């Protein structure tokens, strides 16, 4: 059977209702979030015993190894892996509740207003940013004992879970700003089938590359500006929220009246 048509052409509703300029801004913000996630993941992986706080697939593998009684050399403690998994899930659930709580913000009278970046997404990201600021404060104020590291892992994983579900709400095909597997396979599939349009190819490539660059920057920060390593990604996320609030608050189109 032939491969299905590219999801890029089917699911990216924003491209059908918003101007190319707004879509370009949205895509750059997604790339910036992936960059910030790469920094956070690098910091946590290198500082807290090689545990992930965003890439939970790796933690699930580590958990399985721990259950089997095998711990990779210098690999994460099983308890810390569980802390990350649970905190990430709690963050993802918190994002859902935040998005639901502000559901009415996307409606005007009887019409559903289509927005490239709904305000509730920025609100959810703002909650995640508050947690990341707490992460920064604890990082700078405390010596990294085992208990403090567990707290930092939980804070980072919670914030990454919030970001994961907040960005999923935008329904941008193939894009995840906290783990690049889905993005990478979407990019590869589009290349194989020649189905990517230029904006999609740039977006997917940008997310993958920026996450790798972010990891490299995180490593550099740990080696050259250790106390301030988590400051840069927090600033990036703050800028993303500010730009989204100012530049993407337009209401480019109204969808048909909801059926009653």
Which residue ranges form the domains of the chain, and what is each CATH number?
10-254 (1.20.1250)
Q: Quick one: pLDDT band at residue 158, thresholds 50, 70, 90?
A: very high
Tokens of 3: 């491969």
Q: What pLDDT, on the 0 to 100 scale, is given for residue 74?
A: 74
Q: Which residues contact 93 (CB under 8 A, 6 or more apart)?
A: 161
Q: Which residue did the predictor score with more confidence, 73 or 146?
A: 146
CB contact at 8 A, 183 and 176: yes
Rounded to an integer, what distance in angstroms lies between the CA atom of residue 101 and that of residue 8?
A: 29
**Sign of the alpha-carbon dihedral angle for 247, 249, 251, 256:** positive
Region of poorest pLDDT, from 73-82, 106-115, 191-200? 106-115
Nearest 10 degrees: Cα torsion 44, 178, 100, 14 = 160
Question: What average pLDDT does range 125-132 have in this prediction?
Answer: 97
Q: What pLDDT, on the 0 to 100 scale, is given for residue 1?
A: 40
Q: Which residue did the predictor score with more confidence, 113 or 228?
A: 228
Q: Quick one: pLDDT band at residue 238, thresholds 50, 70, 90?
A: very high
Question: What average pLDDT does range 249-255 have in this prediction?
Answer: 52
Q: Which residue did the predictor score with more confidence, 3 or 60?
A: 60
Rounded to the nearest 5 percent, the helix, strand and coil shares of the chain are 70, 5, 25
Q: What pLDDT, on the 0 to 100 scale, is given for residue 197?
A: 78
Question: What DSSP state is assigned to residue 106?
Answer: G
Q: What pLDDT, on the 0 to 100 scale, is given for residue 69?
A: 80
Position 256 pLDDT exceeds 60: no
Q: What is the mean pLDDT of the chain?
A: 85
Rounded to an integer, what distance in angstroms lies between the CA atom of residue 198 and that of residue 205?
A: 11
Q: Which residue did the predictor score with more confidence, 67 or 197?
A: 67
Position 140 pLDDT exceeds 80: yes
% of residues, the chain, pLDDT over 90: 54
Q: Which residues contact 259 (CB under 8 A, 6 or more apart)?
A: none
Q: What pLDDT, on the 0 to 100 scale, is given for residue 250?
A: 55
Residue 17 CB burial class (10 angstroms; 0-12, 13-18, ≥19):
middle
**What are the tens digits of pLDDT across the range 42-89?**
999 999 999 999 999 888 998 898 888 877 777 788 999 999 999 999
**What are the tens digits of pLDDT across the range 204-226?**
999 999 999 999 999 999 999 99
Q: Rounded to the nearest 5°, which phi and psi values hold at 141?
A: -95, -15
Position 193 pLDDT exceeds 50: yes
Position 109 pLDDT exceeds 50: no
Position 186 pLDDT exceeds 90: no
The pTM (predicted TM-score) of the whole model is: 0.86
């Amino acid at each position: 059977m032939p491969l299905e048509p590219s999801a890029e052409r089917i699911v990216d509703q924003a491209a059908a209702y918003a101007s190319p300029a707004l879509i370009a801004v949205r895509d750059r913000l997604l790339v910036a979030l992936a960059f910030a996630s790469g920094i956070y993941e690098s910091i946590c992986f290198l500082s807290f015993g090689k545990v992930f706080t965003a890439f939970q697939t790796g933690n699930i593998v580590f958990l399985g190894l721990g259950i089997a009684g095998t711990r990779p050399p210098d690999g994460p403690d099983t308890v810390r892996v569980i802390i990350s998994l649970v905190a990430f899930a709690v963050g993802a659930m918190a994002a859902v509740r935040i998005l639901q709580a502000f559901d009415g913000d996307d409606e005007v009278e009887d019409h559903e207003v289509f927005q490239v970046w709904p305000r509730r997404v920025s609100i959810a990201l703002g909650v995640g940013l508050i947690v990341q600021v707490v992460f920064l404060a604890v990082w700078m104020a405390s010596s990294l004992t085992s208990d403090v590291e567990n707290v930092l892992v939980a804070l980072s994983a919670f914030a990454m879970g919030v970001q994961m579900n907040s960005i999923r709400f935008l329904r941008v095909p193939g894009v995840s700003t906290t783990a690049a597997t889905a993005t990478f396979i979407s990019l590869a599939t589009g290349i194989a089938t020649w189905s990517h349009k230029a904006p999609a190819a740039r977006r997917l490539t940008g997310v993958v590359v920026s996450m790798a660059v972010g990891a490299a920057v995180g490593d550099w920060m740990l080696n050259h500006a250790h106390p301030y390593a988590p400051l840069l990604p927090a600033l990036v996320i703050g800028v993303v929220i500010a730009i989204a609030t100012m530049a993407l608050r337009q209401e480019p189109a109204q969808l048909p009246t909801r059926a009653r």
